[in-house]
Amino acid sequence: MGKYIELNKENFDSIAKKGIAVVDFWAPWCGPCRMLAPVIDELAEEYEGKVAICKVNTDEQVDISAQYGIRSIPTIIFMKNGEIVDQVIGATSKQALKEKIDSIIQ
């Protein structure tokens, strides 16, 4: 069963900058973030072994959030080999996220 990866300053580079990664910047108090959480869980299961589905708690990982210029949450960045190739700000549908992931995989 796939599970998203909780990123912090110790593991961010080794996980998010290799291959394809989807990184959800969120916070526990954020309503739209909580609405998106089940979608992130489902994506982690569906893309297990192909894409690293990750989360960064912006309250706990202030440095990472600042490094990537996160001003609104949820913000989801799509990375390929360490480069940001796409980004979504705000809650969105699972289908929209899948389309972006699938376009990066190909």
Q: Which of 21, 30, 52, 101 is catalytic?
A: 30
Active-site residue, 54 included: no
Active-site residue, 30 included: yes
Q: Which of 33, 44, 52, 76 is catalytic?
A: 33
Token pair belonging to 16: 């998010």
Report how far residue 77's alpha carbon sits from residue 88's, in angstroms, rounded to the nearest whole number: 7
Q: Which residues are catalytic?
A: 30, 33
